[in-house]
Amino acid sequence: MMFQQYNNLSISYQPVKKLFVKLALIILFLTGAKPVMAQDTTKSTGNPPALTIPDTLLFKIQKAQSVITEIKAANKKNSGANRIRNGLRSIKASIAPISADVNTPNKSIDSKNLSSYGLILDDSQEKLTDWRATLSKANNDLQSRLDEVLALSDDSLLIVAGNDTTQKKFYAGQLSSLKLQLQEAGTLTSAKLDSVSRLLADVSATSISVSNLQAIINEQLQKSNTNAFYRESPYLWDAPTSFGAGNTQAIVKSTYQGQNKIFRYFINSTWDNRLLLLLLSGLFFVWVFTNYRKAAELLADKQIDPIRFENLKPVPIVASLIVYLNLTPLFEPTSPSLYIEVTQFLLLMVLTVHLWKRFTRHDLRFWLLNIAMYVALIVVNALLNDSIFIRLALIALNIGFLYIGLVFYPKLNREHISQGLINPVIRLYQLLQVLAIVLNVFGRISLAKTLGITAVIGLVQVIGLGVFIQIMMEGLELQMRLSTHAKGIFSRVNTDHIRGSFQRILLFVTISLWLLVFFINLGIANSLFNFFYQILVRPRSFGSITFTLSNVLSFSIIVYLSSLLQKNVSLLFGESKLPSTGEQVEHISSMLALVRLVIIIAGVLLAVAASGISVDKLTVVLGALSVGIGLGMQNIVSNFVSGIILIFEKPFQIGDYIELADKKGMIHDIGIRSSRMKTVQGSEVIIPNSDLLANRLVNWTSNSSNLKTDLTFKVGADTNLPALTDLIKKEVVEIQGVVKTIPPEVLVTAIAADSIELKVQVWITSVYTEASFKSQLLQQLLKLFSESGIKVV
């Protein structure tokens, strides 16, 4: 019985056993392991044990193939060697003229050009450092891959001998192909490694050359700054008389190449600033051109008076160029002196075209002579050396410029440029020319050259800036005329105040631009920028609080701008800054107060963020404010909350006529803490917002500005009332400002022995015209009663 049960159990177990065997074989096949049978098959088949495939050989073949695939993929990728090679060629071309200029014998380079050379070398060294890091990484990767190829090539397990009797002979074809692939990969990797190594060596050598040039320039720059006021050349009477043609030619060549490299470098590195300036000048052109077209259409319809400007034309090409050239230093404050010289020369040419018809023939000759001397000054400065002939030529040019400054420019300022703007510059111009002559005589030729060109550029620039101010003021005047005609924003503001404010802003910009160019030409702009930068960013402590002046300045500017914006944002909602005529009621949404609240909150948050105050210290400040609120700021907080309620509840709007206690008037402004009401008498009443919510308020214009007014008078008891009523009604409807759809009412309010009291009730269109309406009606009735023989008691 038990045997039979066992047989049944064995029979039922067979399918399960077969299933497990199949699963085990599949797993062994997928993992690449060698199957091990329960019985030794070699004994039954008689095959030798050498036919078994070892796992090590298969692993080596797979690894070698993986390395080959990886090397092929890496070789196909572009490591950037071509880009670095082209960039290195460009850097070598950039530093070659600098090296030639610096190493030219008997030549002194001014600090401005040395600083420009330093910028070029710093930029080149930064690129070389990045390229060296990139090439070093690529070199290490290539060396690692080459080491792997060599290790696999020398592996004896991947080599099949002719008399090999092991299982490797079955893989001879694969191993032979693998060997060829390894050789090819090694050759390609070696070639690429050699190329990268050579390029890395070239980059490293160039970096060393740049470092040497930087050291030379820093030494010369330090010496130039130290010896700026020391004699660097012989006195004029001891100057050599030999011209030195060969040396002069070398100086001219090196100067040209160096200046050309500085100019090209600056042009290529600041193209984005130039594009932004070009876009701004284009917008100015479109603005003026569009406004002139609108003005022409209105002038054709005789809706505006003729417009005549001296500096703006219907197609303002020259004016746009003047704007562009004057604003260039503002967008490119780090520009080299050569760029400033070229810019000012172009400004001279554009100003010549612009002022050509305004010059007399005598003034035009002086102006053209000034241009020719300016070009000659640039050339002489490029050739300047110890030779007495060059130095005398520079002195002659200084004397010529001094003569022009004494004779020509004082007349120019009265005719074309504001006297207050140009007179101080002319005095400084004359002083610098005299100093340039004296310094040249006593051997300070570099400083003399700097002062001479600075004086000329400063005077040219101030003339251009004066014309720039006139162009912008005329553009504003054109815009104000069109806006006033179209009932735009300028129709709601005091235009005289706008002109004055805009002119002050332009004056500030022009003075800043002039000083910027002046310091650039003196070669001290970077030093001044660094000086003020250190003052602004230097950490300072006040108790436990650490701050910088830049944080304080940013905080103050943001608070001021947000305050200014919230005060004038009402102009965008139609509120007028001009005196009201009282004839028209303009309702403005009370959401204006919400906009002001948002501006104030945003301004405070931005100011706090710019101040650098940490969150924990801000929490302490808020805690102190909460104590202050609890002790003595309840009224302020109450008015603030009431202002927010007024914004959302809207019991009245700006322009509504309200009555509060004993005051009546129009709401002129709804603020965060208080609101302003303008009475009929013209006074302005400031009402706390909490009073507007706490007291009884009458809004006479909540739905419309119509008002029911009345006037009372007495007539004799024998008066014909029906005839009098018809007469009054007829006279009332003829007066302007009466609501025609609602007829007036004449009521008898009292009767005496010899008189009858009448009340006339009339709806008028505006609450602000009630007094004038009553006066006009009474005057008409008095005249009518007199003509009709009606006696008024």
pLDDT digits (tens, 9 = 90+) for 733-744: 888 878 877 888
CA distance 594 to 643: 9
CA distance 482 to 307: 11
Q: Which H helix or E strand runs over 95?
A: helix 81-102
pLDDT at 319: 93
Phi-psi region of 706 (alpha: psi -120 to 50; beta: other; left: phi over 0): beta
Q: Which H helix or E strand runs over 764?
A: strand 755-764
Phi, psi of 581 (to 5 degrees): -80, -15
Phi, psi of 508 (to 5 degrees): -65, -45
In this structure, the number of other CB atoms found within 10 A of the CB of residue 261 comes to 20
Instruction: Please list the residues that pair with 663 across neighbouring strands.
Output: 660
Confidence band for 19, pLDDT divided at 50, 70 and 90 = very low
Kindly tell me if the per-residue pLDDT of 37 is higher than 70: no
Residue pair 470/421 in contact (Cβ under 8 Å)? The answer is: no
For the chain, the straight-line distance linking the first and the last C-alpha, in angstroms and rounded, comes to 147
Q: Is residue 287 classed exposed, middle or buried when 0-12, 13-18 and 19+ CB atoms within 10 A define those classes?
A: middle
Confidence band for 350, pLDDT divided at 50, 70 and 90 = very high
CA distance 188 to 146: 9
Closest CA to 769 of 657, 651, 652: 657
Kindly tell me if the per-residue pLDDT of 544 is higher than 60: yes
Q: What is the mean pLDDT of residues 656-662?
A: 78
Question: What secondary structure letter does DSSP report for 588?
Answer: B
Residue pair 706/764 in contact (Cβ under 8 Å)? The answer is: yes
3-state secondary structure 260-320: HHHHHHHHHHCHHHHHHHHHHHHHHHHHHHHHHHHHHHHHHCCCCCCCCCCCCCCCCHHHH
Residue pair 756/748 in contact (Cβ under 8 Å)? The answer is: yes
**What are the CA-CA distances from residue 27 to residues 31, 52, 652 (Å)?**
6, 19, 85
pLDDT digits (tens, 9 = 90+) for 392-418: 888 999 999 888 888 877 666 555 556
pTM over 0.85: no
CA distance 88 to 536: 39
Please tell me which residue, 259 or 202, carries the higher pLDDT value. 202
Residue pair 596/575 in contact (Cβ under 8 Å)? The answer is: no
Closest CA to 569 of 587, 593, 586: 593
pLDDT at 10: 41
Kindly tell me if the per-residue pLDDT of 521 is higher than 50: yes
pLDDT at 318: 93
Q: Please say whether the dihedral angle defined by the alpha carbons of residues 730, 736, 742 and 748, taken in this order, is positive or negative.
A: negative
pLDDT digits (tens, 9 = 90+) for 56-92: 666 777 777 777 777 777 666 655 778 888 888 888 8
User: 3-state SS of the chain: helix, strand, coil percent to 5?
Assistant: 70, 10, 20
Residue pair 191/145 in contact (Cβ under 8 Å)? The answer is: no
pLDDT at 622: 64
Here the tokens at position 162 are 């002719």
Kindly tell me if the per-residue pLDDT of 1 is higher than 60: no
How much of the chain, in percent, has pLDDT values that exceed 90?
7
Q: Mean pLDDT check: name the lowest of 292-296, 566-570, 759-763.
A: 566-570
Confidence band for 250, pLDDT divided at 50, 70 and 90 = low
Q: What is the mean pLDDT of residues 659-688?
A: 79
Q: Which H helix or E strand runs over 629?
A: helix 615-632
pLDDT at 323: 93
Kindly tell me if the per-residue pLDDT of 300 is higher than 70: yes
Question: What secondary structure letter does DSSP report for 790?
Answer: P
Cβ-based neighbours of 620, under 8 Å, separated by 6 or more: none
pLDDT digits (tens, 9 = 90+) for 315-338: 999 999 999 999 988 887 777 777
Q: Mean pLDDT check: name the lowest of 403-412, 506-515, 557-566.
A: 403-412
Average pLDDT, the chain: 76
pLDDT at 9: 36
Q: What is the mean pLDDT of residues 445-471?
A: 88
